[in-house]
Amino acid sequence: MSSDPAASAMDADAGRFAVGEIVRLGGFAVLSTTQEAFARELFAARERGEQRLVCFANTNFVVQCQGLRERLATPSVRIVNDGIGMDLAARWLHGRRFAGNLNGTDLIPYLCRHAGRPLRFFLLGGQPGVAQAAARALREQHGQLVVGTCDGYEERRQAGDALPARINDSGADILLVAFGNPLQEQWMLDHAAQLRTPLVFGVGALLDFLSGNARRAPAWVRRYRLEWLYRLVHEPRRLLKRYSWDLLVFFRTCHARRHD
């Protein structure tokens, strides 16, 4: 266990607000919980007016976000596990598995179904047109409200420093930031103090999935936890390094920081 006071504060806060325990992997305090328990914690935080920055930790997150470890060890941040690689590392180093597998592609629709009323979303990131298409899917397929969108390229550049105020003015309950690791986590940390949005998620490719710009693996593939292989087959040029060399770096990093 780390003696870093920031990490200790993160551990204590997670234990107080969430139904779950902390598993330390790669220098990060990763919350082991179920989708149901985590959703309750997020809704409770929103009702109390407390902000939550949610990061989905897969192997790529652990490798790419090493430089953000100290900044992510703050009380408002929740890091949850995403993927079989995290489970394998937890079993290897701690002799245990995570209570559940959490990812944005499943959690966000779950929140929509259990919120009790339509949620107000602001979508930030993706290629031009992707956020708008994802917004249509949230409205038409999930019955939610989308109060604003901004792509991750020219529109974001033009918005500049006024973007947090634009998000605040929209009255969003949930902000989805889709820049990929580590850019989305960096942006969330840099702007958290300016944002009044209670729930902020770093969601990677979620907007691509919602918009239909990318296909998700069939249910049976996900059931066997082989979604990574499905994505690799369909996007070999982009993902080969992530699921080969970077995977070795992930396990080496977890081993090197096993006492952090």
Instruction: Supply the pTM of this predicted model.
Output: 0.89
Count how many Cα atoms sit within 13 Å of the Cα of residue 88 in the half-sphere of its side chain. Answer: 11
Higher pLDDT, 242 or 135: 135
Model pLDDT for residues 184-215, shown as the tens digit of each residue: 999 999 999 999 999 999 999 999 999 998 88
**Alpha carbon distance 119, 142 (integer Å):** 10
Q: Given strand 120-125, what is the order of strands in its sheet?
A: 21-25, 28-32, 77-81, 52-57, 199-202, 174-178, 120-125, 145-150
Q: What percent of the chain has pLDDT over 70?
A: 93
Residue 246, both tokens: 């970077």
Give the per-residue pLDDT at 19: 60
State the DSSP code for 215: P
Across the range 12-32, mean pLDDT stands at 77
Angle, vertex CA 25, rays to CA 63 and CA 243, nearest 5: 40
Q: In sequence order, what are the residues at sequence separation of 6 or more whose Cβ sits closer than 8 angstroms to the Cβ of residue 111? A: 39, 42, 43, 119, 174
181 close to 72: Cβ distance less than 8 angstroms: no
Radius of gyration of the chain (CA): 17
Residue with the two structure tokens 């959490």:
102
Give the per-residue pLDDT at 154: 94
Question: With bands split at pLDDT 50, 70 and 90, how would you rate the model's confidence at 10?
Answer: very low
Residue 161's CB: how many other CB atoms inside 10 A?
A: 8
Residue with the two structure tokens 């996007």:
235
Give the per-residue pLDDT at 14: 42
Give the residue among 107, 129, 81, 233 at the shortest CA–CA distance from 176. 107
What architecture (CATH level 2) is domain 103-214? 3-Layer(aba) Sandwich (3.40)
pLDDT at 4 over 60: no
Dihedral sign for Cα atoms in the order 11, 86, 182, 231: negative
**Alpha carbon distance 69, 4 (integer Å):** 11
| C-alpha torsion angle, residues 236, 238, 240, 243 (rounded to 10) | -120
pLDDT at 57 over 80: yes
Helix (H, G, I), strand (E, B) or coil at 27: coil
Across the range 62-79, mean pLDDT stands at 97
State the DSSP code for 244: T
**Alpha carbon distance 4, 2 (integer Å):** 5
Helix (H, G, I), strand (E, B) or coil at 196: coil
β-sheet bridge partners, residue 55: 79, 202
Across the range 251-259, mean pLDDT stands at 95
Rounded to whole angstroms, the maximal C-alpha distance in the chain is 49
**H or E element, residue 29:** strand 28-32
Across the range 57-64, mean pLDDT stands at 97
Give the per-residue pLDDT at 257: 96
